[in-house]
Amino acid sequence: MLRIVALKGLDYEIDPITAFFGNEEFERLSPLRRIPVLIDGDLVLSDSSVICGWLDEGYPGDALFPADPKDRARARWFEEYADTRLGDVFIWGLFYQQFVHPIIWGAPGDKARIEKTLAEDLPREMDYLEGQLPESGFLFGDEIGVADIAIASFFRNGAYVGWEPDPERWPRVAGFVARALAEECFARFLPFEQAQIATDPKGRRAALLAAGAPLTADTLGTREARPGIMRL
C-alpha cells in the first residue's frame, strides 16, 4: 500500500504491524485483524481495494486508474484478481508456509500445500498472466498504476522464498515484473523490505527506524502473536 501512497506523492507514517501482532485497538480498526489499514484523519479503511479507491478519488496527483471506463473496470478486475487469487497463492500457499509460519508459530508450514502451490497453482496463474500482460510498458500504457502495482507486489513475496517467474516459460510475466520493480514506487521501499525480512517481528520496528522509515510515535503492535479470524 505504501507504493500507492508514494505514487500519489502523499506524506505518511508507518506502524509496522506484522500480521497477527495487533492489539485490541488494532482489532477495533481492522475487525478481521488483517493489514493494510489506512488511518486518514477520522477515516479508517482496512481493505486494500477500498484504500486504493479512496486515495485515487480523495487526492489529486497521478491517477491510479485509467480514464477510459472500460479500462477502469479492467484495472479494478486486475486489482481484485491480485488481491484474492495472487494473494492466496503467493502469501498463503508459499510465503506464509515457508517463511511466516515457522517464525511466528514455531512449526513448519504445510508441505503439501507448498508442493501444490509450486506444481499447480503458480503455473496456472503465470499462464493466465502471460496472456494478459503487455510485452512492454504497463497494462494501460507507459505509466504504472494500481493494477500493475497490485500484480507485481506479490512477486516480492515469491522472491523472498526463492521463487521468481521463469523468463523462458513466461517472458511477458518476467519482463513485466522487472519493469514494475524498477519503478520508483517499488525501488524506494526496497531498504524497508530488506530491513523487515532480516529480523523477526519483535525487532522490525527498530530495524525500520535504522533504515530511515517514517514511523508513528506509538504502535498498535504486540509482542505476542494472535491468530486472525479469517485464516490460520
DSSP string, 105-172: HSS---HHHHHHIIIIIHHHHHHHHHTTS-SSSBTTBSS--HHHHHHHHHHHHHHHTT----TTT-HH
> Which pLDDT belongs to residue 232?
47
> Which pLDDT belongs to residue 200?
77
Cα 4 to Cα 168: distance, rounded to the nearest angstrom? 30
Task: Name the DSSP class of 215.
Answer: B
Which H or E run contains 65?
Answer: none
| Closest to 159 measured CA to CA, from 203, 127, 121, 194 | 194
Mapped onto helix, strand or coil, the DSSP state of residue 188 is coil
- Residue spans of the domains in the chain: they are 2-63+201-210, 69-186
The pTM for the full model equals 0.88
Mapped onto helix, strand or coil, the DSSP state of residue 40 is strand
Per-residue pLDDT tens digits of the chain, which is 232 residues long: 788 898 888 999 999 887 677 889 988 999 988 889 999 999 999 999 999 999 999 998 888 999 999 999 999 999 999 999 999 999 999 998 998 777 777 788 899 999 999 999 999 999 999 999 999 999 999 999 999 999 999 999 999 999 999 999 999 999 999 999 999 999 999 999 888 888 877 788 899 999 999 999 999 988 776 666 555 4
Q: What share of the chain is helix, strand, coil (3-state, %, to 5)?
A: 55, 5, 40
Cα 184 to Cα 22: distance, rounded to the nearest angstrom? 30
Q: Do the beta carbons of residue 216 and residue 15 sit within 8 Å?
A: yes
Residue with cell 498504476: 145
Cα 83 to Cα 149: distance, rounded to the nearest angstrom? 11
Cα 226 to Cα 182: distance, rounded to the nearest angstrom? 35
> Which pLDDT belongs to residue 70?
98
Number of Cβ within a 10 Å radius of residue 78: 21
Contacts of 53 (CB under 8 A, 6+ apart): none
Cα 171 to Cα 178: distance, rounded to the nearest angstrom? 11
> Which pLDDT belongs to residue 96?
87
Q: Could you give the count of Cα atoms lying within 13 Å of 215 in the half-sphere of its Cβ?
A: 19
Q: What's domain 2-63+201-210's superfamily in CATH?
A: Glutaredoxin (3.40.30.10)
The CATH architecture assigned to 69-186 reads Up-down Bundle (1.20)
